[in-house]
Amino acid sequence: MMTEKFLKRSRRITQVGFILLIFLIPVFDILRYDTATKELFLFGEVWTLGLKEGFYTDHSVTGALHIAVQFFLKAILPWLVILAIFPLAGYIGGRFFCGWLCPEGALFELSDYLTLKLLGRRSLYGKKPNDPELPRANRFIFGMLALLSMIVIPLLGGIALTGYFVAPKTIWHQILTWNFTFGVKAGIIGVSLYILIGSIFVRHVFCKFVCAPGLMQMLFGWVSPVSLRIKMDTSRISECTDCKGCEKACFMNVLPRKNKRDISCVNCGACIAACHKELGEGKGLFSFQRGEKQALPVQEPGGANGERHHPKQKSADGDTARVKA
């Protein structure tokens, strides 16, 4: 059973795990291009096309065919596989990668949380209707945490991503001796500024309108009849208390109860967790499913009396009562 705690804990584990993977990939030469030696490392080995040896050892037609096949397998096919990753991920899982694995998404969520604690809203530019209410106690502590995050996270990100082009041991040697080459200095500063500006001023706007992998997942998830989506159980619509917890939990400003897919939905499951919290563990109205469209949260007008039925709302004494339009 997917409970609120299980969903939140699982997502944080996958996000942190993927960030650690991003940091460790260049350290163990799983994937790294060394600009100094002009060599591509893949799974600990130098990735070569082997074309030079073929040109000099075999001048026959068979040798030329072998070189062509070698070039396709080692130069073209890997790029085709890489380019197919996000479209395939979107076709199967929608924007699941964005909500559960993306390091930038995790950083933007952290920025939202700290801004909520300090200013009472997610955005620096003003409060939105779906901003959740969080207690703003210990603002000094959260202010120090925000300041520390703005210094440490961009620098670590800059070091990690520069390691994909310069050997990580070389980078750390230069840091310890405080003697930087231009390439290392430019890489760390450039990436750090990108992370800092994005996490403070841009955030999820980048996810919606700029991120190429996110847009590919969005497109292929939209046209796919089998992609993962979050749906509402309309057969239990009367149990909805109209608390709007699902809307306030969504950092992408999606309205989960609307009768249409929102291409901004990243399948994070925050609305599922919020509904479990409101109705009780295991009783939430939302769930991960595969299918065509999200379900309608309220019934359309019709019936003998032509009334439109709305979700239950809580009255002042805590009881629920139906509200007619």
Residue of higher predicted confidence among 77 and 98: 98
Residue with structure tokens 């082009």?
165
Q: Where are the beta strands (DSSP E) in 35-101?
A: 39-42, 45-46
Query: What are the pLDDT digits (tens) for 105-121?
Result: 999 999 999 999 999 99
Task: Look up residue 107 and give its two tokens.
Answer: 């950083």
The one-letter code for the residue type at 198 is G
Under the banding of pLDDT at 50, 70 and 90, the label for residue 304 is very low
Please report the pLDDT score of residue 317 as a whole number.
Answer: 43
Is residue 252 a contact partner of residue 207, using CB atoms and an 8 Å limit? Answer: yes
> Can you tell me whether residue 133 is helix, strand or coil?
coil
Q: Return the closest-CA partner of residue 100 out of 245, 231, 217.
A: 217
pLDDT at 48 over 90: no
Q: Return the closest-CA partner of residue 267 out of 114, 97, 17, 72.
A: 97
Task: Look up residue 146 and give its two tokens.
Answer: 């925000």
pLDDT at 292 over 80: no
Taking residues 192-215, report their average pLDDT: 95
Taking residues 282-308, report their average pLDDT: 58
pLDDT at 295 over 50: no
Task: Look up residue 31 and give its two tokens.
Answer: 């994937």
Query: What are the pLDDT digits (tens) for 261-274?
Result: 788 999 999 999 99
pTM of the model: 0.82
Please report the pLDDT score of residue 73 as a whole number.
Answer: 81
| N-term to C-term CA, the chain | 35
Taking residues 292-312, report their average pLDDT: 41
Under the banding of pLDDT at 50, 70 and 90, the label for residue 63 is low
The domain spans of the chain are 4-37+89-212, 43-73, 225-315
Q: What does the alpha-carbon distance between residue 77 and residue 69 come to, in Å, rounded to a whole number?
A: 10
Identify any residues that bridge with 313 across adjacent strands, giving them in sequence order: 321
